[in-house]
């Protein structure tokens, strides 16, 4: 399954009472579809799933699938550190009509590589849906090795990898040893262009909430051989991306999206909103980025 170049890991909007705001969620979905998003990932890290209840996760996934209505693929985050729960959630979202599932490496348990393989194998065996491997050792405390990812890619419906290890050497090893129909996506916005340059497909992005069109322009320039232009986009984006991760994700991107008119700044504890000084710095970097993009578009 090809998710395109940019899949957005969607935020979860909350109202003033801390409940999921579905009216705003619909507006965010429409904004993303209209601004450079090729696929949506719902109930991932950016969606604050550690603080969502199981009923909330299921309702949000179901809602998103219905509102998207097959215009772009919707990938449902179902992974937990409990294989039995992950299997149960997979069956539920398959019935909802999800186009694929994202399964994170089991966290806290810290399984070895054999345990990680067995976890993904068990989940993949109960569904016909494409399975996205989500490797994010900074969150889970365990790295899915290149060898394990390569082995898992031989399972027929495991053909998508979200690599958020930040390790380009590991990504290169994976890309050099999987079949051409296995797509490797960066889980780090800052590594989007470097990964595509070594054969990756694209990015599962946070920054695309606010710069999706510019990211598409960067990747289009690269595909067209205008590597100097692609590099300029990358260079302009990097300070903004770094500021979007100044605080734990999704705190900064929720602030950034609120600056575009979406009332989504509220986060659930233990997340807390950005300090005013960091908001001011983001605003400055955003203005500088806009000016740089104007120049790049003339190249």
Which of 60, 180, 184, 168 has its CA nearest to residue 132?
Answer: 184
Q: Is residue 46 marked as binding?
A: yes
Query: Concatenated DSSP letters for 92-108?
Result: HHHHHT-SEEEEEPPPS
- As a whole number, mean pLDDT of residues 152-167 equals 97
Residue 155 has pLDDT above 90, yes or no: yes
- Report the topology of domain 6-223: TIM Barrel (3.20.20)
Coil, strand, or helix at residue 74?
A: strand
Domains of the chain, residue spans: 6-223
What confidence tens digit (pLDDT) does each residue in 112-137 have? 999 999 999 999 999 999 999 999 99
- As a whole number, mean pLDDT of residues 181-203 equals 98
Q: What pLDDT shows up at residue 190?
A: 98
Which of 32, 72, 71, 62 has its CA nearest to residue 215?
Answer: 32
Could you tell me the pLDDT band of residue 1, with boundaries at 50, 70 and 90?
A: confident
Q: What pLDDT shows up at residue 121?
A: 98
What confidence tens digit (pLDDT) does each residue in 68-101 have? 999 999 999 998 999 999 999 999 999 999 999 9
Coil, strand, or helix at residue 129?
A: coil
What confidence tens digit (pLDDT) does each residue in 141-154 have? 999 999 999 999 99
What confidence tens digit (pLDDT) does each residue in 215-265 have? 999 999 999 999 999 999 999 999 999 999 999 999 999 999 999 999 999
What confidence tens digit (pLDDT) does each residue in 52-66 have? 999 999 999 999 999
Could you tell me the pLDDT band of residue 160, with boundaries at 50, 70 and 90?
A: very high
Could you tell me the pLDDT band of residue 44, with boundaries at 50, 70 and 90?
A: very high
Average pLDDT, the chain: 97
Q: Is residue 192 marked as binding?
A: no
Query: Concatenated DSSP letters for 153-174?
Result: TTSTTEEEEEE-S--HHHHHHH
Sign of CA dihedral 241, 247, 252, 253: positive
Could you tell me the pLDDT band of residue 2, with boundaries at 50, 70 and 90?
A: confident
pTM here is 0.97
Query: Concatenated DSSP letters for 207-274?
Result: THHHHHHHHHHHHHHHHTT-HHHHHHHHHHHHHHHHHHTSSSTTHHHHHHHHTTT-------TT--PP
Q: What pLDDT shows up at residue 214?
A: 98
Could you tell me the pLDDT band of residue 48, with boundaries at 50, 70 and 90?
A: very high
Beta bridge partners of 9: 41
Q: What pLDDT shows up at residue 297?
A: 97
Residue 156 has pLDDT above 90, yes or no: yes
Using alpha carbons, list the distances in angstroms from residue 265 to 15, 97, 147, 243.
9, 30, 40, 16
H/E element holding 42? strand 39-42
Using alpha carbons, list the distances in angstroms from residue 294 to 61, 234, 239.
37, 14, 16
């Amino acid at each position: 399954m090809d998710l395109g170049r940019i899949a957005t890991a969607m935020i979860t909007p909350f109202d003033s009472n801390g409940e999921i705001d579905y009216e705003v969620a619909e507006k965010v979905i429409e904004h993303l579809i209209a601004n450079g998003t090729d696929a949506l990932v719902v109930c991932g890290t950016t969606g604050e799933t550690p603080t969502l209840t199981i009923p909330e996760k299921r309702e949000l996934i179901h809602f998103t699938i219905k509102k998207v209505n097959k215009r772009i693929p919707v990938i449902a985050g179902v992974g937990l550190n409990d294989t039995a729960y992950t299997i149960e959630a997979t069956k539920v979202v398959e019935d909802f009509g999800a186009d694929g599932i994202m399964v994170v490496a089991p966290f806290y348990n810290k399984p070895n590589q054999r345990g990680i393989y067995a976890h993904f194998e068990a989940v993949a065996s109960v569904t016909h849906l494409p399975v996205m491997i989500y490797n994010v050792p900074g969150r889970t405390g365990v790295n899915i090795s290149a060898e394990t990812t390569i082995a898992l890619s031989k399972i027929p419906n495991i053909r998508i990898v979200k690599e958020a290890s930040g390790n380009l050497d590991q990504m290169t090893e994976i890309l050099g040893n999987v079949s051409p129909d296995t797509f490797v996506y960066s889980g780090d916005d800052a590594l989007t262009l470097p990964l595509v340059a070594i054969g990756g497909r694209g990015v599962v992005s946070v920054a695309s909430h606010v710069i999706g069109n510019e990211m598409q322009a960067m990747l289009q320039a690269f595909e067209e051989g205008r590597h100097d232009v692609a590099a300029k986009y990358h260079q302009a984006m990097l300070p903004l991306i770094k500021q979007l991760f100044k605080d734990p994700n999704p705190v900064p991107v929720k602030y950034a999206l609120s600056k575009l008119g979406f009332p989504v700044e509220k986060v659930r504890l233990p997340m807390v909103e950005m300090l005013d000084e960091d908001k001011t710095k983001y605003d400055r970097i955003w203005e500088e980025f806009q000016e740089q993009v104007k120049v790049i578009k003339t190249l």
